[in-house]
């Protein structure tokens, strides 16, 4: 099974790049399943229902989020209407929407996708992500109820991300970090067979500060005083993510490679699919 995960979409330039690129990637790489983190797709803060639907129409099978999930007020209303829209699973019971779901890939495989948020340096501080993951895995074990399992671990601290990867190693197909908007170089297959990457990076303008126009963040670091609102950068976007090949027999990873398409960062495609 061929899986692709794309990191946090930031603003109009990021979402447009994903919408334009994704159909061709699905066709050219013969992808079976695609997950996209869309939590910053609406002007850099949250996501609207229209943007969510357009991302699904472009070929995403699931859209995950994170700490900015409720930045657009309409998300509270539409979260419960769409199974393919996930918010962090470790929000308290009764929170709108869902944190995980079982979906069918293009090859007919059952894919469990779970969105979990870390707690170190993160706000709001949610329930224990490790306990949440354990409950999700207990309810839908790999190769019993699911042929593949993907965790989007939305967190700030790399140490927390790495420990989460080791915690589910051998029980999940892929753990990929989001939130920090910078692609890491540690894509690997852990000892138990779980593919791991600390951060997939963002789909946005890299001539920026984490996808935001760099002038206001720079001003705040220098002056300690805001001059205006943070705005998403509008230059050409780079699409960043990670591609994984999963064994049909075990549900564990066999190959992993980063994907980067666009200006500024060195372009790379998974060569094992060429």
Q: Is 123 known to be catalytic?
A: no
123 is in an annotated binding site: no
Cα–Cα distance, 109 to 164 (Å, whole number)? 25
57 is in an annotated binding site: no
154 is in an annotated binding site: yes
- 68, 123, 166, 187: which is the annotated catalytic residue? 68
- List the alpha helices (DSSP H) in 213-259: 215-223
- Do residues 56 and 83 touch, judged by C-beta distance below 8 A? no
DSSP class of residue 209? B
DSSP class of residue 110? E
179 is in an annotated binding site: yes
Beta carbons within 10 angstroms of residue 162's beta carbon: 17
* 3-state secondary structure at position 258: strand
Torsion of CA 201, 207, 213, 216, to 10 degrees: 100
40 is in an annotated binding site: yes
Binding-site residues, in ranges, read: 8, 39-40, 67, 154, 179, 181
Tell me the catalytic residues.
68
Binding-site residues for Fe cation, in ranges, read: 8, 39-40, 67, 154, 179, 181
């Amino acid at each position: 099974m061929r899986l692709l995960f794309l990191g946090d979409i930031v603003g109009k330039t990021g979402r447009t790049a994903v919408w334009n690129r994704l159909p061709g990637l699905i066709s050219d790489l013969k992808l079976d399943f695609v997950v996209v983190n869309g939590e910053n797709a609406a002007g850099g803060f949250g996501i609207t229902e229209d943007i969510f639907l357009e991302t699904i129409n472009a070929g995403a099978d699931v859209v995950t989020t994170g700490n900015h999930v409720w930045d657009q007020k309409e998300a509270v209303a539409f979260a419960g209407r769409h199974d393919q829209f996930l918010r962090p699973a470790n929000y308290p019971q009764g929170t709108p929407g869902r944190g995980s779901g079982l979906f069918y890939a293009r090859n007919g495989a059952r894919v469990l996708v779970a969105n979990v948020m870390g707690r170190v340096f993160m706000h709001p501080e949610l329930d224990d992500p490790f306990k949440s993951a354990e409950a999700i895995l207990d309810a839908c074990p790999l190769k019993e109820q699911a042929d593949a399992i993907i965790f989007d671990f939305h967190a700030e601290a790399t140490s927390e991300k790495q420990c989460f990867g080791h915690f589910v190693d051998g029980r999940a197909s892929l753990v990929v970090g989001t939130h920090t908007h910078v692609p890491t170089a540690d894509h690997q297959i852990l000892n138990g067979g779980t593919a791991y990457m600390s951060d997939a990076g963002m789909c946005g303008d890299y001539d920026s500060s984490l996808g935001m126009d760099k002038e206001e963040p720079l001003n705040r670091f220098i002056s300690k005083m805001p001059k205006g609102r943070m705005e998403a950068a509008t230059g050409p976007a780079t699409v960043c993510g990670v591609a994984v090949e999963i064994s049909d027999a075990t549900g564990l990873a066999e190959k992993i490679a980063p994907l980067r398409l666009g200006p500024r960062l060195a372009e790379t495609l998974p060569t094992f699919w060429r």
